[in-house]
């Protein structure tokens, strides 16, 4: 059986297309990337968080605060303790130590609420094909907490 040159070329293009798409698909199965946070009060975008993998654990840093008038001074964490007290929120690490708990769930980490200065246990779970991230902060057990929905920035 002979395979025509046209058939080989078509097959090669299909394989190369799949390989080129693989990194994009892989990025949607991981929380690594940039996320837009949504204000629970206004239901408007409030910030951009970049999540990176740091020694096998997730680490989230505030890249930008959104919908904040430029005339205001930079937002600082007045209620934070220790070295974070009175530091700018932009550039601050607010999530750390989350490890993969299996599949699309990452847990056993911590998250800081820069508005209150409180640190909570945290877990995150990807939804909608990796386009939404459910971020749960809690005290003690996961049932005692609240969940925010973050949207992947494209």
Residues 87-109 have pLDDT tens digits of: 999 999 999 999 998 899 999 99
Mean pLDDT within 4-31 = 47
DSSP letter at 141 equals S
Q: Are 134 and 151 in contact (CB under 8 A)?
A: no
Q: Is 20 helix (H, G, I), strand (E, B) or coil?
A: helix
Query: Residue 94's pLDDT is what?
Result: 98
The pTM of this model reads 0.80
Residues 106-117 have pLDDT tens digits of: 999 999 999 999
Using a pLDDT cut of 90, give the percent of the chain over it: 71
């Amino acid at each position: 059986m002979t395979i025509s040159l046209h058939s080989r070329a078509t097959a090669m293009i299909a394989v190369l297309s799949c390989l080129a798409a693989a990194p994009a698909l892989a990025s949607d199965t991981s929380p690594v990337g940039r996320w837009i946070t949504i204000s629970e009060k206004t239901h408007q975008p409030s910030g951009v968080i970049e999540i990176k993998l740091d020694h096998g654990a997730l680490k989230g840093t505030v890249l930008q605060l959104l919908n904040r008038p430029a005339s205001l001074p930079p937002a600082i964490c007045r209620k934070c303790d220790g070295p974070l007290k009175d530091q700018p929120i932009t550039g601050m690490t607010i999530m750390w130590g989350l490890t993969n708990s299996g599949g699309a769930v990452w847990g056993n980490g911590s998250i800081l609420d820069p508005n209150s200065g409180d640190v909570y246990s945290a877990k995150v779970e990807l939804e909608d094909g990796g386009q939404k991230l459910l971020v749960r902060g809690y005290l003690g057990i996961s049932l005692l907490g609240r969940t925010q929905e973050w949207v992947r920035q494209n």
